[in-house]
Amino acid sequence: MSLFTELKREAYEANMEIPRQQLAIYTFGNVSAFDKSRGIYAIKPSGVPYTELRVEDMVIVDLDNNIIEGKLNPSSDSKTHTVLYRECSDIGGICHTHSPYATAWAQAKCEIPILGTTHADHTIKSIPVTSELTESAINMGYEEATGHSIAALFTEIQNSELNFLEDEMVLAACHGPFTWGVNAAKAIYNSRVLEEIAKMAYFTLAINPNITPLSKAIKEKHFFRKHGKNAYYGQK
Catalytic residue numbers read 121, 233
Contact 10, 182 (CB under 8 A): no
Q: Which residues of 20-38 are buried (b: 16+ CB within 10 A; e: fewer)?
A: eeebbeebbbbbbbbeeee
If residue 176 lies in a helix (H) or strand (E), which one and from where to where?
A: strand 176-181
Quote the radius of gyration of the chain (alpha carbons, Å): 18
The CA-atom distances, in angstroms, between 63 and each of 35, 123, 182, 216 are: 11, 29, 18, 40
3-state SS track over 91-151 = CCEEEECCCHHHHHHHHCCCCECCCCHHHHCCCCCCECECCCCCHHHHHHHHHHHHHHHHH
Query: CA angle at residue 141 from 163 to 132, to 5 degrees?
Result: 55
Bridge partners of residue 176, in order along the sequence: 172
Strands 176-181, 93-96: parallel, antiparallel or unpaired by DSSP?
Answer: antiparallel
For residue 111, give the nearest of 50, 31, 7, 194 by alpha carbon: 194
